Structure 1
């Protein structure tokens, strides 16, 4: 764990727990390369301007990532969190000086188990921003796991589908990819697939009643790539659908950028 390229102290990081105001991005790093690295940096700069009304030095961010990766050879998931340790509950409106906290953990296996989702009515605060205010969605995930599911599928107040707790969701129908039409976090993996597929993609308002007409479902996330979805509530799909295999191969063929 490093803050601005140096070892972080407890005093410097305690505001993440006590104030909890900031944003982040997570990325899978293999051989010092990241698929969609430019999109991750673009997200950090955009969210920093929104939350802090400040410009973010992307070259400095990449330098901090390289320092944490120094000497490592195994695939890892790097999280970059942007926050200001000087801000607290009473001074949250002060001019901000964004700091760069970089942490890493072992990357999950390339092939992860399919997800079983429980549909819940919930909307994340400011869905388009990858902020660190995750209490509400983690509460729903916890309840779902206690009920025997892996994660939650979030539904808007009108019953339309938006996203998974910390992933995007896509569907396969007659060989085409269908994304929900909603306000959600436009994830990097989702954007990379969208760019690669182009004409094979549509975006529609979807509700739970539309799911039985889908041939397969999948989650997209920078840490795990393309992950099959086995079910949403009582609707089930095959997790070995040919299009899911094609999507994984397509994603793996996307050139990664050097950090």
Structure 2
């Protein structure tokens, strides 16, 4: 009997892997990753994804694989899967966690693919949680607090949670970057956050279009003066946010349209 081909490939270093090979890293907490949406076998912002993986590898492991090597693993998985898919590239060490062995082993790349996603419809109402993510600038695995606070927010009648740091500044949401609008200006939170690849795409396209942008300390009180709010991640450039905590925020269709137009302006390329 011939085996049924895997619809969505899972690979390590460009090679298909079995469940047995995946078992040792299934719960590994010392790894970092990037996530992207593939459409027609093309990706937007691949340069941002590669930069993220390289810089995080240097931070975590003291070394990084060449961009072209990582790109080849991603390209291989894309070519072997459906034309549209979600893809996650995770860089890990076989030395594992809670040990010095991970300081010496060369990093490796696990690439997983799944069905494509565009994220939830929205608008979303976010609970305001006082929390600061550890190593916030790195997209790393093992962050159970994000799911914990999501669950807590839902129990309190919200859709998700936004984080407030010890200085009273909004930083980001559980798996999202936050973005606001003040009149014609796009406002990004000034705080310790992960700069998302979607955030990077939108920022450079807004700059090219001449749309004013600023980074500000955004408090909960500041929300009352803003004309719109949204979350974004690798799924989508913008889902409207109509409340954070007890503060209602106007739903701005024009702001959401601007964010989506920014993504549309970014060229999609083969990995």
State the TM-score bracket (shorter-chain normalisation). over 0.9
Q: Deviations over 1:136-157 (max 9, x none)?
A: 2221112112323221111101
- Once the two structures are superposed, the pairs formed by residues 116-131 of structure 1 within 5 Å of their partners are 116-131=125-140
Contact 2:241 2:249 in 1 (8 A): yes
Alignment pair present for 1:68 and 2:77: yes
Q: What are the ranges of 5 or more consecutive residues in structure 2 without an aligned counterpart? A: 1-9
Query: Residue 70 of structure 1 aligns to a residue in which SS?
Result: helix
Residues 1:18 and 1:170: Cα distance change in structure 2 (over 3 Å): closer
Q: Deviations over 1:106-151 (max 9, x none)?
A: 1223772222211101111111111113112221112112323221
Q: Deviations over 1:173-210 (max 9, x none)?
A: 11211111111001111112221223510111111011
- Residue of structure 2 aligned with 1:208, choices 216, 220, 241: 220
Contact 1:116 1:229 in 2 (8 A): yes
Query: Residue 228 of structure 1 aligns to a residue in which SS?
Result: strand
- Residue of structure 2 aligned with 1:166, choices 160, 163, 175: 175
- Find the counterpart in structure 2 of residue 194 from structure 1: 203
- Once the two structures are superposed, the pairs formed by residues 101-112 of structure 1 within 5 Å of their partners are 101-109=110-118, 112=121
RMSD: 1.9
Contact 1:25 1:44 in 2 (8 A): yes
Contact 1:116 1:149 in 2 (8 A): yes
Residues 1:51 and 1:110: Cα distance change in structure 2 (over 3 Å): closer
Please, which moves more after superposition, 52-61 or 23-32? 52-61
The alignment's TM-score, normalised by the length of structure 2, stands at: 0.88
- Residue of structure 2 aligned with 1:132, choices 137, 141, 162: 141
Please, which moves more after superposition, 148-157 or 35-44? 148-157
Give aligned pairs, total: 259
- Find the counterpart in structure 2 of residue 178 from structure 1: 187
- Find the counterpart in structure 2 of residue 38 from structure 1: 47
Alignment pair present for 1:21 and 2:30: yes
Q: What are the ranges of 5 or more consecutive residues in structure 1 without an aligned counterpart? A: none
Q: Distance in 1 between matches of 2:108 and 2:215?
A: 37
Q: Deviations over 1:52-84 (max 9, x none)?
A: 011212222222222222254443210000001
Query: Residue 107 of structure 1 aligns to a residue in which SS?
Result: coil
Q: Distance in 2 between matches of 1:105 and 1:222?
A: 14
- Find the counterpart in structure 1 of residue 7 from structure 2: none
Please, which moves more after superposition, 28-37 or 118-127? 28-37
